[in-house]
Amino acid sequence: MKQLLTVLCTLPLLAQSVDKTQLISQHRATEIRHQTRPVDDPALTTYAANLLLRLKANTPVELVHSHSPRPTALPGGPLFLPVSLLLQANSEAELATAIGHALGHAAAPLTITDGRGPTIVITDPHATVPPAFRSRLPEAEAAADRFAAAMVSQATLDAEAFRAAQAAAQAPLPPKPAPTLQRR
């Protein structure tokens, strides 16, 4: 988040037609892609995409290996879903609740502006938040919880599909081939 705040303070003035939230989301998505490693597993990707469809979430999903087990959703952007969340969740409902919570933050980001400077969009309230705005965090958390509860209550969740996804996520990654030197 500190990186994001730094970038926001150095952004040049943009035309009024550019949506600042979208610009910030694009920048944050680029940061996340640099900090994580993508997961190329068609079965897991299909499972995650189907779960999002059942949750009626119209957002693309990117499975990643990440240090954090929390999913990150960005306004107008993808949902970054760590494979470790698939391993740690006890049920598909728990997984869906975590996803719904992240999507809730993306649907109603905590937007902070002083009217003259840059806009700060906080989609991850667990990140560093300026002290002057911490009083708004409980409100944002409660809204994300309500959003998640509404999504999960309308979805039909399948325990067997979740177990299959967990088993696929626990399978060891194939080793990368060692580089070879070729003589010419």
Tokens read off for 131: 């002290």
Q: Is the pTM of this model over 0.85?
A: no
Q: Tell me how many degrees the CA angle 27-169-41 measures, rounded to the nearest 5.
A: 60
Q: What is the pLDDT of residues 76-99, one digit of tens each?
A: 889 999 999 988 888 888 999 999
Is 181 a member of any domain?
A: no
- Domain around 115: 2-10+19-166
Nearest to 87, CA basis, from 170, 146, 182, 151: 170
Asked if residue 50 belongs to a domain, the reply is yes
- Looking at the domain assignment, is residue 142 inside a domain? yes
| Domain total in the chain | 1
Sign of CA dihedral 155, 126, 59, 66: negative
Query: For residues 140 and 105, is the Cβ–Cβ distance under 8 A?
Result: yes
Under DSSP, is residue 21 helix (H, G, I), strand (E, B) or coil?
A: helix
- 49: in domain: yes
- Model confidence over 16-66: pLDDT tens digits? 334 777 787 888 899 999 999 999 999 999 999 999 999 999 899 999 998
Q: In this predicted model, which residue has the larger pLDDT, 55 or 117?
A: 55
Alpha helices by DSSP H, 11-120: 20-35, 42-54, 83-88, 92-107
184: in domain: no
| Any domain includes 28 | yes
In a domain, 58, yes or no: yes
The DSSP element (H or E) to which 126 belongs, if any, is none
Quick check: is 178 in a domain?
A: no
